[in-house]
Amino acid sequence: MSGGADMSGNPQPWVLHPDRALPAEPALRGLARDIYATTRDLPIVSMHGHVDAEVFAADQPFADPAALFVTPDHYLVRMLLSRGVPHDALGVPRRDGRPVTTDPRAIWRTFAEHWPLFRGTPTRFWLEHELAEVFGVRTRLGADTADAVYDELCARLAEPRFRPLALLDTFRIEIISTTDAATATLAEHRKLAERGWGERIVPTFRPDALLDTSSPDWPAELRKLGDVSTYDEYLEALRERRAAFKAAGARATDHGHQSADTTPLDIADARRLFQAALRRTITAAESAAFLANMLFEMARMSTEDGLTMQLHPGVLRDHDPAVRAARGPDVGYDIPVHTEYTRALKPLLNAFGHHPNLRLVVFTVDETAFSRELAPLAGVYPAMLLGAPWWFLDTPDGMRRFREAVTDTAGFANTAGFVDDTRAFLSIPARHDLARRVDAGHLARLVAEHRLDLDEAADTARALAYDLPRAAYPSPAPVSTVEPRPAGGAA
């Protein structure tokens, strides 16, 4: 980036370098630039997002730069926390209603003063892209320019072309999925469908709160599901919710629990544990076993209804209970743990891994699993695909390591393409752009080392950016009549 001063000390307008995040070596740079040029303008397929459906249904101007960029972004908040800036100063609300900073300009200034903390991080890459490319800001962010940038942003936000639905076009987002509780009414999606956005903004079925019987919130969640008093009714109600989501355009389910265990229970045990959960006498071990069983059942239902199943285990949520109590979830305190996949996914893959109707996309934040477990599994089971490097790994070096770790064994075609996985709507094009740049760099190296031809690299780059995510999240067919795998049959 530039944006400092020229030789004579005249300030230069801030412009991002067109080759940013491409390899430095000139021959690689040239190849990467050519490959990137073929994907830069492809539509965005955003099938694993966390933007609220309400944002699109209301289609109101974004409030202010702090509410847009700072307060809700846990990447950004956690970095400021780590160097001593308290949640209060960033406007993160307290559950007890005690006051926090609400002046957006003050929050923005605090952020801008700490901008150097983000050196070398993807947050910096994304933010710069958002400011310079999306908002056309020409003043480089810093403590001294906080107000000027703030004012520029406010002016932009007032323009109609910066409303959410208009930005969908600007960003060339072909389809975007929200993430919705299994018990969500989907009212916003209905509203959007009525206005013709139903194919483009789709829900995703996330039943975590209904499957985790260890949570104190589980009984309340279950009540939202309806009048359910047996395991069989519970399964049936889940099936009905999936059908409702599918009717509303959903193409996928999403499951984020600590373990990847998918061991099924005998039906009698499942029924017994469900009753214990209702009575709140279920033990922690039993809850874990019930959850594993339910992931197995979710896979079975995916073979029935064709919804792509997304699994991203391995995060210890709310590492600091005091923060959780004071601020709620998703404020930066989720920490990965070592995660096992080979044994954990065995029951699911043995039962459904060859089923023609299943697509299981598996993510990880434990990158040691990539070459050891995930690539070998995805490289043989037809139903399994590797999700993009996720969360803490959604970075230039993380994405490079992902390709280097999995391609040898799983190739490119067993990966599901990039997902942005973000609540920050404005960062979506930046995130896809960074992924396309990094993949272009990886492919450029293969070409330069004569391990791939340039035409193949360009074809592969397009697959990674567009074709593979489209194929991983197809519009599901009507309920399948494919029979479950007969013993030994799919082999």
Q: Which of residues 414-443 bind a second copy (CB under 8 A)?
A: 414
Query: By the 8 A CB rule, do 315 and 335 touch?
Result: yes
Q: Is 410 in the site for a second copy (CB under 8 A)?
A: yes
Nearest approach, Cβ of 253 to a second copy (angstroms)? 22
| Chain centroid to CA 409 | 24
- Cβ 21 vs Cβ 441: under 8 Å: yes
Question: Of 92 and 175, which CB lies nearer to a second copy in the complex structure?
Answer: 92
CB of 322 to a second copy, least distance (A): 5
446 belongs to the binding site for a second copy (CB under 8 A): yes
- Single residue of 6, 10, 24, 41 touching a second copy by CB under 8 A: 24
Tell me the backbone φ, ψ of residue 134, rounded to 5 degrees: -80, -45
Cα separations in angstroms, 418 against 83, 255, 304, 467: 31, 18, 26, 11
Q: How many residues bind a second copy (CB under 8 A)?
A: 106
Q: How far is the CB of 13 from a second copy (least distance, A)?
A: 15
Distance (Å, whole) CA 150 – CA 427 = 17
In the complex, what is the shortest distance from the CB of residue 135 to a second copy, in angstroms, rounded to a whole number? 19
Q: Which is nearer to a second copy, 116 or 136 (CB)?
A: 116
- What's the rounded Cα separation, in Å, for the pair 327 and 94? 5
DSSP state for residue 391 in the 8-state scheme:
G
CB of 69 closer than 8 Å to CB of 115: no
Instruction: By CB under 8 A, tell whether 376 contacts a second copy.
Output: yes
385 and 375 Cβ atoms separated by less than 8 Å: no
Shortest distance, CB of residue 283 to a second copy, whole angstroms? 19
Instruction: Provide the greatest CA pair distance for the chain.
Output: 80
CA distances from 323 to 92, 320, 333 (A): 11, 5, 8
Q: Is 304 near a second copy (CB under 8 A)? A: no
Q: How far apart are CA 47 and CA 428, in angstroms?
A: 11
**Number of other residues whose CB lies within 10 A of the CB of residue 439:** 28
CA distance 239 to 173: 30
Interface pick for a second copy out of 250, 295, 405, 419 (rule CB under 8 A)? 405
126 binds a second copy per the rule CB under 8 A: no
**Residue 123 identity (one-letter amino acid):** T
- Which listed residue (157, 276, 452, 482) binds a second copy by CB under 8 A? 452
355, amino acid identity: H
Give min distance, CB of 186 to a second copy, in A.
33
Stretch that binds a second copy, among 194-202, 229-237, 263-271, 378-386 (CB under 8 A): 378-386
477 binds a second copy (CB under 8 A): no
**Residue span binding a second copy (CB under 8 A) among the ranges 144-152, 202-210, 239-247, 396-404:** 396-404
Cβ closest to a second copy, residue 213 vs residue 407: 407
Question: How far is residue 224 CA from its own chain's centroid?
Answer: 25
Angle among Cα 336, 68, 131 to the nearest 5 degrees reads 95
Shortest distance, CB of residue 166 to a second copy, whole angstroms?
29
12 binds a second copy (CB under 8 A): no
Residue 470 lies near a second copy (rule: CB under 8 A): no
Of 103-111, 180-188, 201-209, 364-372, the window that binds a second copy (rule: CB under 8 A) is 364-372
Binding mask 57-96 for a second copy (x = CB under 8 A): ---------------------xx-xxxx-xx---------
Q: Which of 343, 339, 340, 346 is nearest to 360 (CA)?
A: 346
Tell me: does residue 451 bind a second copy (CB under 8 A): yes
Q: How many CB atoms lie within 10 A of CB 256?
A: 16
**Main-chain phi, psi angles of 458, to 5 degrees:** -65, -40
> With binding defined as CB under 8 A, does residue 284 bind a second copy?
no
Partner residues linked to 384 by β-bridges: 360
Residue from 38, 101, 121, 215 touching a second copy (CB under 8 A): that is 121
Alpha-carbon gap, residue 438 to 459, rounded angstroms: 15
Told to check if 409 binds a second copy by CB under 8 A, we report yes
Q: Does 353 sit near a second copy (CB under 8 A)? A: yes
Of the pair 28, 424, the CB lying nearest a second copy is at: 28
Q: Which of 164, 172, 209, 184 is nearest to 61 (CA)?
A: 164
CB of 72 to a second copy, least distance (A): 16
333 Cβ contact partners less than 8 Å away, ≥ 6 residues apart: 78, 317, 318, 319, 320, 323, 324
Per CB under 8 A, does 120 bind a second copy? yes
Question: Is residue 337 a contact point for a second copy (CB under 8 A)?
Answer: yes
The piece of 174-182, 198-206, 233-241, 450-458 that touches a second copy (CB under 8 A) is 450-458
Residue 332 is a binding residue for a second copy (CB under 8 A): yes
Q: How far is the CB of 65 from a second copy (least distance, A)?
A: 22
Binding of residue 316 to a second copy (CB under 8 A): yes
